[in-house]
Structure 1
Amino acid sequence: MRKIGLINALLLMFVFNASAQIFSNKVVGEKKLEERDSLKQAVYPYMLPIWGEKVTKLGFDLPYSAGFSTQYFYQESDILINNLFVGFNDGTMYDLDEIVRFNKATARTNSISVRPDVWLFPFLNVYGIFARSNNDTNVDFGVYVPGEFHLDPDLGFQWNWVKAMDFKTEANFEASTYGFGLTPTMGVGGGFIALDMNWSWSDIPELSEPARIFVFGPRFGKNFQFGKPGQSLAVWVGGFRVKMNTGTSGSLSIDEVLPGFDDQITGAYEKIEKSQMAVDDWWSGLTIQEKADPINIAKRTAANKGLSVAGSVVDAASRAETVQYSLDKRQAKMWNFIVGSQYQLNKSWALRAEVGFLGTRTHVISGLQYRFGL
């Protein structure tokens, strides 16, 4: 069975916002007068898009109405995790937001996708997404227990938490993705705007439900035509926004969660025991009057309660065969910047490349598209 950490199964982060920059272009300018007149006089031979013939007679040059594209996608992004609850052997779920602290979580994806699409209207492209991906995740986190403590006049009882266990995990897994997208576009004189958006669901065996992702990618660019009919080069800039479902839950075998867990459990017991001895020594060193002080009573009660919770979690983990979890996760930053280009050999074939950077995510897209009339 594949080794996979508790959080590793949760950090699939890949998106398929890879709409090729084909668009309906309004032909303008004196140099394009002959081309515009030719479009107005031509008979539009295809069923799609709806209103295709009317728009052509208004001087719009329409792309072929249907197509298929295959695309390679690589991305790397940082993820933030909070609201972590963990239980063992289907028992009590413990709130571990203070006990488990994540230093860094990074997800990487390599995927191949196939996307059929049609122009439903002259300015609206709709498409489907079918993809397979290989993914690896790296998670760096620590498990903390209460250590020294004090009573702050303003903040109340305060712990100095001590790291009991430290983990760095890596996992590799595969996923299948399906979804759909919409791309409203507008082009005038070769300049264009495309507002690509899609919704996708990724099946991951380790999760109780599919991972849901929404992507929005506005792009603004210019298309430069060459001498041969249908041959052009488009360049663009834009943004790339990713939103994923925050709630995740599931169940894993303890052997898959944390290899070498027994040694870490032993160390955690020792640190909890050391902290408990410090509390007991402090209490036994107080005078009778000091033990009657409500502030000292509150300090001792809170200390014993915190150590009791930590001890219960570690004790339950030491006997666990399975671990159940729920948590919230999100992108460290939703937006990054993109730059791209597409070379169109003719109205049927096009090659595309795009890179995304800045923020906490980078991505690379390359693809090949074939179009035909429908």
Structure 2
Amino acid sequence: MRKLLIILTALFLLPLFSFAQSDSSNVEKEVYPYTFPIWGQKVLDRGIKMPKPAGIGFNYVFNEMYLNISEFKMAIGGVPLESIGVEELGFKKTRAYAHGGNFRADLFILPFLNVYGLFSYSYGGTAVNLQPQIGGVTFPEFSSDVQFNATTFGGGMTLHYAIKKFFISADANISSSKSALLNQNVGVITSSYRFGRRFQFKNGTKLAFYVGAMYRNFINHEGNTGSITLGEALPNIEEKYQNWYDGLSPIQKRLVDEVEQKLEERLGDTPYDKITDLPISYSIKKDLIKKWTFQFGGNYEINDRWMVRGEYGVSDFSKFLMTGVNYRFGF
């Protein structure tokens, strides 16, 4: 009887053991298919789905920043004018703006660390309002809007961390821009911090919204030098000056004539037919009036390869807009 029970038990368990062995041999461990990020296999083993490690993106970017001119020196026609600086020129408002295309390539080195390089070509200008006070004479207020093209190279990194449907990120990058107006490149450091939430839809698409803050500042502590003609810096200056001069009283005209005479003595016999042809060499130090902006934006993931993104930043003295598309792939 005991032997019969053992035989029946064995016959009952044999199919179960066979099924278990067969099932175990068919279940293979999923292998992470890419080289990056490092530890990608460990992340996959934990059941965490990551975006494809590499990406390229193209963005449209608009920037507007109000500047404070802390130091300004100039020479007209090769003659230094040490007595004319920031206070004498009377800078009232300086606004820099630019818009253009931005190309960015990125790679997840680690599951939480993304590094990237960027290149952009932009069109912009610097709009300046000033009212000089020289030799006791207050001149009319002049406005200038000097246009420029600039190329920018840079690189940076982003740290990511997610808890369920929420995420945080911290980004830092350094860029260097070159334009024909300045002899040196303009260096800028940017850092940003974001907190947001993701939403996943039944069709597989994902939508994320976030808020945050961005910090920007120049890193050229010694300032920049450049050159421009008087006509380029102050268009129609002769007409504006003459209209202002004609409206002065005889006593005021006498004071202005004395200031003009002193300037002519300093300049001497310049080889320029028109005052607008006079070259101005200058040295300038500038700072952003407001270095922080409030940021908000979002991105829409169409699938695991394509994503569109938009972001807007604003403060009392600056604006920022970015919108673009990103394509991701394995690496």
| Alignment TM class, shorter chain as reference | 0.7 to 0.9
Distance 1:315 1:232, change over 3 A: farther
- Residues 287-366 of structure 1 mapped to structure 2, 5 A cutoff: 312-313=262-263, 315-316=265-266, 319=270, 321-366=278-323
Structure 1's consecutive aligned runs of 4 or more residues displaced over 6 angstroms after TM superposition are none
Q: 2:78 aligns with which of 82, 87, 90?
A: 90
Identify the residue that residue 206 of structure 1 maps to in structure 2.
181
Identify the residue that residue 168 of structure 1 maps to in structure 2.
143
Identify the residue that residue 224 of structure 2 maps to in structure 1.
248
Distance 1:169 1:254, change over 3 A: closer
Identify the residue that residue 117 of structure 1 maps to in structure 2.
106
Find the residue that maps to 2:144 and give its secondary structure: strand
Structure 2 portions without partners, runs of 5+: 1-27, 273-277
Distance 1:213 1:312, change over 3 A: farther
Kindly provide the CA deviation profile for residues 338-361 of structure 1, in whole angstroms up to 9, marking residues without a partner as x. Answer: 110111011111111111123311
Shift of 1:163: 1.5
Distance 1:101 1:347, change over 3 A: same
Shift of 1:271: 5.2
For the Cα contact (< 8 Å) 1:225–1:232, is it kept in 2? Answer: yes
Structure 1 portions without partners, runs of 5+: 1-39, 148-161, 278-306
Shift of 1:59: 3.7
For the Cα contact (< 8 Å) 1:144–1:165, is it kept in 2? Answer: no
Shift of 1:132: 1.1
Kindly provide the CA deviation profile for residues 281-315 of structure 1, in whole angstroms up to 9, marking residues without a partner as x. Answer: xxxxxxxxxxxxxxxxxxxxxxxxxx8xx975565
Distance 1:314 1:237, change over 3 A: farther
Identify the residue that residue 234 of structure 1 maps to in structure 2.
208
For the Cα contact (< 8 Å) 2:146–2:233, is it kept in 1? Answer: no
Identity among equivalent positions (%) equals: 30
For the Cα contact (< 8 Å) 2:145–2:233, is it kept in 1? Answer: no
Identify the residue that residue 15 of structure 1 maps to in structure 2.
none
Distance 1:170 1:349, change over 3 A: same
Distance 1:188 1:200, change over 3 A: same
Find the residue that maps to 1:54 and give its secondary structure: helix
Identify the residue that residue 118 of structure 2 maps to in structure 1.
129
Identify the residue that residue 32 of structure 2 maps to in structure 1.
44
For the Cα contact (< 8 Å) 2:69–2:86, is it kept in 1? Answer: no
For the Cα contact (< 8 Å) 1:103–1:140, is it kept in 2? Answer: yes
Distance 1:276 1:112, change over 3 A: closer
1:187 aligns to 2:175 (yes or no): no
Kindly provide the CA deviation profile for residues 64-94 of structure 1, in whole angstroms up to 9, marking residues without a partner as x. Answer: 0101011011122211112111112333252
Find the residue that maps to 1:61 and give its secondary structure: coil
* TM-score, L = length of structure 2: 0.79
For the Cα contact (< 8 Å) 1:145–1:272, is it kept in 2? Answer: no
Identify the residue that residue 274 of structure 1 maps to in structure 2.
255
Q: CA RMSD in A?
A: 2.7
Asked which structure has the greater CA Rg, the reply is 2
For the Cα contact (< 8 Å) 1:67–1:369, is it kept in 2? Answer: yes
Find the residue that maps to 2:80 and give its secondary structure: coil
Distance in 1 between the 2:155 and 2:228 partners? 30
Distance in 2 between the 1:113 and 1:80 partners? 27
Distance in 2 between the 1:368 and 1:357 partners? 22
* TM-score, L = length of structure 1: 0.70
Distance in 2 between the 1:53 and 1:234 partners? 26
The number of residues matched between the two structures is: 288
